[in-house]
Structure 1
């Protein structure tokens, strides 16, 4: 869950992507043409956006963190619906974000400390532009990924219901066994689930959400009870609420028509999930089942790239080879930590083993960070 990350993490080192997005059909600057990406200078107290009137189409932002805190950058539509985001921008570093925006009114937001509502600026998008899905390969990519989302959300509903039933029955052992399994399906599609406002923190928020004025609910609230006190006798309502929220996010995810750039950005976001929470043990801090989430994030990232593969092979075959090699290395390295049908606990890994995992994720993040620019061509 992205809105409450308060840790500056070495594993979240980000690389600057390159490439320019297209102009809109009416000839207006889409944010990437002759003028290049829109510059965003983020500090701990300000978010300076270089242009706030842009043309419709694929828009690129270059976000530079000039503050002392790790920051994030978002583009929001009405109701805080996330159109695009880039996270874990360490002080002194830059990250690029490519996002497809039809005409309308939006907000940009920098989030120093990766928390709160952020420092917001109105963004007006005008004109018209042919959607990226006019390209047959990109249209096929979104359809392929939507099928993947549907398969994962079906399993998410099934396994979450089993988890909820175990919690309501007071079966601690069964609930503990089901906890990382149910979360696997959530973690594979988390970038899609995170589009829809506050559903993500309700389902996947950690205890820090209290600092943002929210109630601590969802998977991690029940996780805390399971592994700290073992008393879930009063968690029935929490479990029911979790199931209700999961059903809502599944319905919305299955109805959502994704942009090819959302697939590309999502593949990178899932690796950021690994770097920001799984490597450090922050995510599943009570159960220490972080490697289940780690594996699921990598699998979800790979699924998004697989959907985009035909288009990437046409546009940048060398990049596809880099991605294949980097994914294989991550899978081999992670595979060392298998334990039966699952994974070792985070607390069972040494510092050297965690560093090795961090290194291979960062190596994969480098070619992944180039995908959005290739898609936006």
Structure 2
């Protein structure tokens, strides 16, 4: 790990100013990813700006019926917050599927969005990597690709985004609030993370020095029919090979609204609005779900050792949507059981 200086910011504006005053500065929230990157010399910031005293850890109701998550609220506090458990159980499930309890106690909501890929070659300084050193090449292409992208990749990078929480945030139409040298702005969640294109070193659309201050969830949380399905090599503390956030609004057996987002398959959480449109107005049947899955994976491309993920993703979508349709029945059965001990 390289040497660095440290300062503790006491306000958002002060943090942004401190960042602008130091070349190679980085913001430090929970540090669960950044510190790992620094230990491996993948990240080499010269100055760290502590954010713990910014007061951005509140979770508050919004006037429009939505919910604001402070950027420094921990993943654990968010998952177990009564409003999240009640109104956004899809988000609760996604957070609890990620990492370990110890990491969720430290990791922040804003930091979760900033996670970098877990590509083997990104962490191996002995191999070329366009994300670490633009223009050096992508060692994953032609290499071992079990965890790599099948959607949205480019000739420059086939890495995937590792977050579980972000898959649910994508499905829920979250809005990201940021503050930077040019003031405050909001970013639609679907526009926050980038596909690699010819700039794989850029994970997101933040401008230099910008800081995430909060995340707004809309009023509609799909609390009745939802499912977060995570398929991985082991049942705990492992990143997804494929994950699916599925949320439905049903009128009997007819789908009135649908959300569908995937993790573990692309450089960003992958939401397909055209596939969602195929679901709306259709009966909640296996045939309907398979048609949507086929649409999502229509442009998928394997890289050899990850070819299996294409069929796995299709089956995961069908399974998650089926679980979402059954969720309301399960909730009703549980409520009946609790009222009749």
Task: State whether TM-score is above 0.5.
Answer: no
Higher relative contact order (CA 8 A, sep 6+): 1
Q: Higher helix share goes to which structure?
A: 1
